[in-house]
Amino acid sequence: MAKIFIDNQQYTVKDGQNLLQASLSLKLDLPYFCWHPAMGSVGACRQCAMTQYQDENDTRGRMIVACMTPVSEGMRVSMQQPAEKEFRGQVIAALMTHHPHDCPVCAEGGECHLQDMTVMAGHHERQYKGKKTTFRNQDLGPLVKHEMNRCITCYRCERFYKDYAGGTDLAAQASKNNVYFGRQRDGTLESEFAGNLVEVCPTGVFTDKPFGDHYARKWDLQSAPSVCQHCSVGCNTSLSERYGSVRRVTNRFNEHLNAYFLCDRGRFGFSFVDSESRRLDVRLNGQLSSWSDTALSVKLKDKAKWIGIGSSQASLEDNFALQQLVGAENFNPGLDAQQETLLATHMAILNQWSAASLAEMEQADAIVILGEDINNSAPRIALALRQALLNKAREQAEKLRVPGWQDSAVRAILPHHPVPLAYIGYGDSNLAKQATISLVCDDKRAAEQGFLLANLLNERAPKPKVSKVDPHTLQLVEILKTAKRPLIVTGWSANNPALLAAAANIRKALKAVHSATASASDHDHAMLCIVPPEANTLSLGLLMEQDYLSADLLSEKLSAEKSNLMVLDHTAPAFSKRLDEWRKSAANVVRLSQLGAPDKDEVNLPLSSFSECSGSELNYQALIQSHLPATKPSGQCLPAWHWLVHIGKIRQQPLGDISDLGQLRELLSRSYPQLAAHFVDHHKTQLALQTPRVSGRTAMLANQTVHEPKPYGEADAPYKQSMEGALSGQDKTQPLAYSWSPGWNSNQSNHKFRDEYRGDGIDAQAGVFCVAGTQNNQWFKWQNNWSKSNKAQWQILPLQKVFGSDSLSLQALAIDQLKVPAQIVVSPGQAEKLGYVAGQIVYCDDNPTPLQLVVSPQVPANCVLVYVPADQLFDLQQCEALTLATAKQHEEYLAQAQQLREKQLTQKQAQRDKLLAQDQTIPIHFIEGVV
Amino acid sequence: MDKPLSQYLDLNKPQNLAAYQNTGGYAGFANALKMQPQEVQQQVSDSKLKGRGGAGFMTGMKWSFVPMGDDAPKNKYLVCNADEMEPGTFKDRWLMEGAPHLLIEGMMIAAYAIGADVAYIFLRGEYRLCATRLQQAIDEAEAAGLLGDNINGSDYSLKLHLHTSAGRYICGEETALINALEGKRATPRAKPPFPQVVGLFGRPTIVNNCETLCNLPCILKNGAQWYTQLADSADTGSKIYGISGRVKNAGLWELPMGTTAREILDLSGGMQDGLKLRGWLPGGASTDFLLPEHLDTPMEYDAIAKAGSRMGTGVMIALDDKHCPVGMILNLLQFFAQESCGWCTPCRDGLPWAVEILTRIEHGLGTQDDIDALQKLCGFMWIGKTFCALAPGAVEPLRSGMQYFADDFQQHIDHKGCRHRH
């Protein structure tokens, strides 16, 4: 800690910070633009000027910019002297010479950092009399809108997009007061993190396009703390609502997970809740029905055995309620046999090792990625790994007495001080390109090398069948032995439990290496991260610990005894195919679904989406997190647990005694005592979901009535919320529904709610981990049945895409527009042999899916890589022959793609019209408190 | 007097390698090669050579920050800053066109002294003739084994590249030059780290001005002692001085350090007939105006600073009494506003603002408030407030001009126009 004096007031601040960080941590208001807590300092905008004095006798001092000045013991500075105040005003005046002052029509208005800083710096009168520079805006695709005239040239967008996120298609161009931030030509931004530009830009150059199409001011939005549903990271989001429809998702700061950034699947995927394929009505055999329909209750009360099929798309509460209703022995997790093995292995590992948080992973000094396409399966983790690659350069900078937050210096040093990154697996990705050690191989060989690596680190680790050590693996042994914070990353992408076991063995081997070499005080800092496929996969793992009905047994049971099926929310075509098989021998099928067309011989109960009800998920660490609703349930929708409780009631089962979510959670906590702590906190929660602006003076529905309704609150919620509530963020144990502080209307207000911006150390991750990670560590033995044997010409290895492999987000129109069509990737050698060129359309054996050919060296021998969007069925695992599409087939393919594009645009327009029309005729009875 | 720089100079037909060697060329480098690199550094320190690019930093001192010895990074770089874009300055062009081998020898000495194995000449793109002649000289030196592996049988190797700039004034700033050379945007880097430690491609790098490097051969050939005795001045050695503007014969002369401005004006034959000197910029456009009363000031760093300006490049610009100082300042500021790299706010948006105000004043549309606004802008862009020295340099002729030629500014406002225009 260092003692410093700001305007003669003494403060104690953390060493190593810069003066701007320190001042903001002290909750002092100092304006800034180019600095960003996650991106460090570059000193470009000069907005954070202060005066530094040599000692207490120095009365003149000299001007410094706070973001480039490290704090030091006894330092004396001022931010209130007239000279620097005038300078800060002048900076704003200069920045604003070309700003269009178009706040009323700007989507950033009301949450604009430039507006806030202008007021803070005291600039209020335009003095510049010259002409403004004007720019041409670009079409940057369906997610981000571009309005260059508003730019104040802070360079944040370029620094985020290129440096932080590794994008290559957006940069600063031209010079002087004509600097242009954009692409070389119009076109969709290629980075899956482009949406963060909306939050990174301090003004309205980059704005949220879907939000702009159905817009509301920040002060009119009611926001709920939510959790992203589109991968297993569990990024914290803020879900904002107006007039009963969800308008946007913004980042909700979580120091250990997403920090300041989301991926675009998470930011824009939410609008599946407005999809036209949402199920809104109770249906019986395809016909509209209702809960009071006796035909329906007859079916639901059927005396035959009920088998429940859970879903990783549904919340923990929903799956738990289903497990309670049908009994654990009749609860099938909705996975296939291989996935069941993966989940069992995954849970066994998590019982022994805790998984690293993103913040911890950012501190890694050696990284092994074992057979996982992390860029596509969990983009936010890939972004964290990218930051870890700077660690050696930061260390070197500190040696040269340059602070690690001095971003341009660190990046200048970077080329000669890389963090070792081993990419063992297949497929092209941003991280594969950054690898210092690269071994292109299939999942089986990756797992074998993983086992061998563990064995080389510790001879007690079990060996696989093969013993040929790849030179890359040998290289890794030394790297991992000397690394202080090595990280092993793997996951489910390749569908092989051997990879998970290999990673766990390496982790265990590293523990022994550390206890052998390090002093007693030096802990074992090795880290492990295993990525499951969906937001809530691990909830199923938790429930399966009691007992479960495996997929294989389910089939047997169904054919042995006529049973009924109760199926939770599933959208994947592969599941539908399995269900169709089971349906043949099932008596009744009851489905509880959010999306999709109902089948003609089943009961359909419509489900509330995550934006319409409370629920909990277990992320990749088995950390339980809960989301709150932003809006009322649509149509006749209810949360699945609520339907199941109703069914319990009519069947007079114990579950029927539950009357609200709180009671269900108490029951859940009794079965899983570790959850009690999480839900206790939740009970105490009292949130203000609305901004202070909504205080009874404004009329939300002034177009219809000036009566002020009470804001929407979840019925029977186990937490309290009111217009007043606990002021957002004041109580640190409660989630921050939205970020706002007096004078700080933008998301930059974040620093008012925490001790400091990103210090050197990170606090321990709070929260409840449902799997303890405390069991004795075991070696995992190699099992031959984990890996598929390949006897065909080519083994097909699965690939994923950020925009395409998550079925929920594909129902969001903006993401659907970015959906990558099905692809097959072959190596240059294979392509040459076959006489194929990239871009051709290819078929595998007699499978009807047209695949676009991609050529890449990242394809192992005797393999092809296939990616098929999550909404299409493709169940080949190997293939004998590839055939080229005929000219006619190719033409049809192109025509279909064109039709699809046109359909997407029509759908988008229709959805927008529907929502806008809905705003005009808000059904007032939907809003509580209006008579 | 000795003219160690211009003695080799032939603008029409520069000396080829043989001719340069016959007149004593590469003897300095031969001496250097017999010494340890640190001894070469010491000799240059002893010569008290100051950088000729404008800032006048001690060359030996600058070199001393480069990590030396076995622990030092393997690759180090020497870069010659020949991106001569200072308005009114053309001394480096003169040297490079007239004596390309002199620069190459100087670079070889400097590279050897800091242990660099690769050197670049970062040349202003418009200097086409320089490029041709330098490339010829480099080819000759390579063919003769003076550049390349194991020079003259030693274990020292050096590769020298000529890089022609895409043309930005900011590339005169050494870290922006380094960025440009790496293929990045030409914006300055934050210091520390200094280029001597983390420079080109992240390696230790020395960036020296062309004229500075041209001084090295004679120092190594004749010794530091000899060099310090060349001039009877606080600063040592020989300097290319010059003058432009409406003088009789604008040009360049090699003179001892500390020659007075009046002597340089006299060498040019004085002002053209019918014109009187009103003011002068001592060393390029980014220095403060001085007045005729300052003409007896010796052209050395401290003396010029004491008079209220900077020595800069040492190539003067004269302002006469028949031309408008406001128009001249506007012209200069337009250049600087055009050449701002766009990185920091005061420079990027302050300079065009000053140009906008000056344009109105020059065209008779200025108001009294504009004078205050200009004064404020001078403070806004002053040293310590900007990221690099470009904007403070640009402010120098403006703030001194507003002080010395305040009446002219006032007349533009009172009479709604420029008396020099019709």
Structure confidence by residue, pLDDT tens digits, A370-425: 999 999 999 999 999 999 999 999 999 999 999 999 999 999 999 999 999 999 99
For residue A931, is pLDDT > 50? no
Both tokens assigned to A722 = 């009111």
**What's the Cα-to-Cα distance from B69 to each of B37, B47, B193, B279, rounded to whole Å?**
10, 23, 20, 50
d(CA A872, CA A854): 19
Q: What is the pLDDT of residue A20?
A: 96
Q: Which residues of B touch A (CB under 8 A)?
A: 73, 168, 185-186, 189-190, 192-193, 197-198, 201-203, 337-346, 348-353, 356-357, 360, 373, 376, 380, 384-387
Q: What is the mean pLDDT of chain A?
A: 91
Residue corresponding to tokens 């704090």? A71
Both tokens assigned to B302 = 């401290």
Contact between A45 and B341 using a beta-carbon 8 Å cutoff: no
Of the residues A35, A68, A156, A175, the best mutation for testing chain B's interface (the one with the most B CB atoms within 10 Å of its CB) is: A175
Which distant-in-sequence residues (6+ apart) come within 8 Å of A548 by Cβ?
Answer: A328, A329, A331, A332, A333
On the CB side of A580, CA atoms within 13 Å amount to: 9
Is the bond into A606 cis (omega within 30 degrees of 0)?
no
Measure the N-to-C terminal CA separation of chain B; round to a whole number of Å. 49
Task: Give B-chain residues touching A87 at CB under 8 angstroms.
Answer: 380, 385
Contact between B356 and A130 using a beta-carbon 8 Å cutoff: yes
Q: What is the pLDDT of residue A710?
A: 63
Task: Give A-chain residues touching B353 at CB under 8 angstroms.
Answer: 94, 97, 128, 130
- Selection from B247, B254, B312, B255 nearest residue B284 by Cα: B312
Q: Please compute the mean of the pLDDT values over residues A5-10 and round it to a whole number.
A: 96
With residue A49 as reference, give the H or E element that holds it.
strand A49-53
- Quickly list H helices, A495-572: 497-517, 537-544, 551-560
Provide, rounded to the nearest whole percent, the portion of chain A with pLDDT above 70. Answer: 93
In this structure, the number of other CB atoms found within 10 A of the CB of residue A528 comes to 25
Dump pLDDT digits (tens) for B45-97. 999 999 999 989 999 999 999 999 988 998 999 999 999 999 999 999 999 99
Comparing CB atoms, the residue among B185, B338, B373 nearest residue A176 is B338
Dump pLDDT digits (tens) for A599-645. 778 899 999 999 999 999 999 999 999 999 999 899 999 999 999 99
d(CA B275, CA A454): 87
For residue A516, is pLDDT > 70? no
Give SS3 for B4.
Answer: coil
- Selection from A363, A426, A488 nearest residue A863 by Cα: A426
Give buried/exposed letters for B47-79 (b at 16+ CB in 10 A, else e): bbbbbbbbebeebbebbbebebeeeeeebbbbb
Task: Give B-chain residues touching A40 at CB under 8 angstroms.
Answer: none
Of the residues B85, B171, B345, B381, the best mutation for testing chain A's interface (the one with the most A CB atoms within 10 Å of its CB) is: B345
pLDDT category of residue A692 using cuts at 50, 70 and 90 = low
Cβ–Cβ < 8 Å for A237, A227: yes
Contact between B193 and A128 using a beta-carbon 8 Å cutoff: no
pLDDT category of residue A331 using cuts at 50, 70 and 90 = very high
Q: What is the pLDDT of residue A766?
A: 84
For residue A917, is pLDDT > 90? no
Q: A63 to chain B: nearest residue by CA?
A: B384
d(CA A342, CA A348): 10
pTM: 0.95
Dump pLDDT digits (tens) for B224-246. 999 999 999 999 999 999 999 99
Contact between B198 and A44 using a beta-carbon 8 Å cutoff: no
Contact between B385 and A179 using a beta-carbon 8 Å cutoff: no
Instruction: Determine whether B372 is exposed, middle or buried from the number of CB atoms within 10 Å of its CB (0-12, 13-18, 19+).
Output: exposed
Q: What is the pLDDT of residue A599?
A: 77
d(CA A904, CA A925): 33
Which distant-in-sequence residues (6+ apart) come within 8 Å of A497 by Cβ?
Answer: A338, A341, A342, A345, A783, A786
Query: Min CA distance, A159 vs chain B (Å)?
Result: 13
Dump pLDDT digits (tens) for B127-170. 999 999 999 999 999 999 999 999 999 999 999 999 999 989 99
Q: B380 to chain A: nearest residue by CA?
A: A87
Q: A90 to chain B: nearest residue by CA?
A: B380
Look up residue A120 and give its amino acid.
Answer: M
Q: Please compute the mean of the pLDDT values over residues A825-832 and round it to a whole number.
A: 96
For residue A930, is pLDDT > 90? no
What is the signed CA dihedral for A487, A493, A494, A498, rounded to 10 degrees?
50
Q: Please compute the mean of the pLDDT values over residues A551-574 and round it to a whole number.
A: 93
pLDDT category of residue A722 using cuts at 50, 70 and 90 = low
**What's the Cα-to-Cα distance from A221 to each of A111, A738, A930, rounded to whole Å?**
12, 10, 19
Both tokens assigned to A414 = 């970077």
Task: Give A-chain residues touching B189 at CB under 8 angstroms.
Answer: 408-409, 412
Q: What is the pLDDT of residue B300?
A: 95
Dump pLDDT digits (tens) for A646-679. 999 999 998 999 989 999 999 999 999 999 999 8
Strand-pairing partners, residue B161, are: B120
For residue B186, is pLDDT > 80? yes
With residue A680 as reference, give the H or E element that holds it.
helix A676-684
Task: Give A-chain residues touching B344 at CB under 8 angstroms.
Answer: 43-46
In this structure, the number of other CB atoms found within 10 A of the CB of residue B1 comes to 9
For residue A756, is pLDDT > 70? no
- ipTM > 0.85 (yes/no): yes
Q: What is the pLDDT of residue A925?
A: 45
For residue B331, is pLDDT > 70? yes
- Selection from A831, A865, A834, A863 nearest residue A851 by Cα: A865
d(CA B216, CA B111): 11
Query: Min CA distance, B102 vs chain A (Å)?
Result: 32
pLDDT category of residue A485 using cuts at 50, 70 and 90 = very high
Interface A-B: count of C-beta contacts within 8 A: 113
For residue A78, is pLDDT > 70? yes
Q: What is the mean pLDDT of chain B?
A: 96
